Structure 1
Amino acid sequence: MKPNKSFHKTTEQDSHYSNLENMPVADILKNINKEDNSVPKAIEKALPQIESLVIKIVEKIKNGGRLFYIGAGTSGRLGVLDASECPPTFGVSPNLVIGIIAGGDKALKHAVENAEDSTNTGWEDLMAHNITSKDMVVGIAASGTTPYVFSALKKCNESQITTASITCNKNSPISRISKYPIEVIVGPEFITGSSRMKAGTAQKLVLNMLTTTSMIQLGYIKDNKMVNMMLSNEKLKNRGVKMLQEQLNISQQEAISLLETHKNVNKAIQTYYERSKNQTH
């Protein structure tokens, strides 16, 4: 199956708003906000699809697999962003959730000509990470037709690697070849075809759901706290101290001492409980 160039894309339909250059600032903001408010409702319709994918991601990671995001342009940048935020938030290895963008790191800041049109480099970029059937690959493409993503998912299917996708058009080619497709139909953009807007917002929210829910299920969150976060600045260290004080009912100084020793809130909590248990025997 090849991406169909005549595929009808609601993301490319004309905006509901005209003569934007003559619209007062207050009206521009009001109308952008009005359109943005439709995104969560569109995601709500896709919750069963998102749930199925989360369950599979958790299964894959529990069995030693990794989660890959692959995309081009805005979609690729959002995937890299979500992947890069997992280590500091959940304390996981940077090799557990991996974001790949067409054109490489340069494309994070600058458009790379024809990068999204390649039908070979998506698979090559995945192979550079020694991808196996243990892993999960999520293709991100607002249009649902991006050749870089489509061809990479197609090769994954041929190699028995589980595929998923996040798109914003109904029954797109990428959705049709994905084992776990997520379709968030947000409709025309405020600026015609500018999928960095509603489509990008939808993708970001879905990515938040995928990793956050998966990491909760995998035990990286305790109660509602980021007990495995990287303590990379004073704000996070202070947050860690407060967590320990509340969880263990100890003084600030004792919490600081525990955190300085173990460098991790969860490890500090476990050690404290083990020490207390041993002292009672």
Structure 2
Amino acid sequence: MSLAQLQRDFRAWLVDGSDDAARSFGAGAAAGLTVYQNNYRAQLVGCIEQSFPRVHAWLGDDAFLRAAITHIDSHPPGAWTLDVYARNFDETLTTLFPDNPDLHELAWIENALSEAFVAPDAEPVSIDALSAIDWDSAQLRLSPSLMSRAATTNADSIWTALQEEREPPDGEMLAEPAGLIVWRRGFTSCLKKVDALEYEALVHLQSDGSFVALCDMLVDRLGEADAIAKAGALLAGWLGNELIAGVDHIASHRHQSN
């Protein structure tokens, strides 16, 4: 047997306890191999626990362990480092608990906070740089660490309470649609719930970047007078939170028509 085949058989045993794989190691090998399989599973459970401590606290030990084992059975490691192993654990939770959107959003928060921490660095735009910007042609570049999703529950309040070791509130649906954003500010991953309009504005900027197009979208939603004030307030908040990592300039449609 080649070394490569031996490695494949050993991996097959670790993943699913394959009898065929065990036989390739000789008669009676299964008992000894069990030690390695137990260690394999324990390490992966530990990896998931480390990545999702608030989800663990919210679910409880038994339910969390069942979810972790389900994930391990269906998602064997495929990367060179275990640091990324638990990234799609939230998908397993969505499958196992389809009627618990608070859990889905809580898991997304934990994963996004971890991802934001290792995202590429970017220097935020300073307030002093604003005077030199031509807003008619400005393309805003958001922080590469920024992630967002629609929010339907109070998962952010649950996460904050668990993080602060307080009794978390019961999960409940929001009265109005909102959004969750996660990004890194300096060396700290940040979480914020935003209203539906700000969430839509950030999603728009991530896909387009044009400040003029953002203003046009706000005019459609609010009318011209309120849109100007809203655009200014949003921009000030994003700059203050270091969400804007750069401003590029392109030839705008307004300039081209003159």
TM-score using structure 2 length: 0.26
The structure with the larger Rg is 2
Q: RCO (CA 8 Å, sep 6+): is it higher in 1 or 2?
A: 1
More helix by share: 2
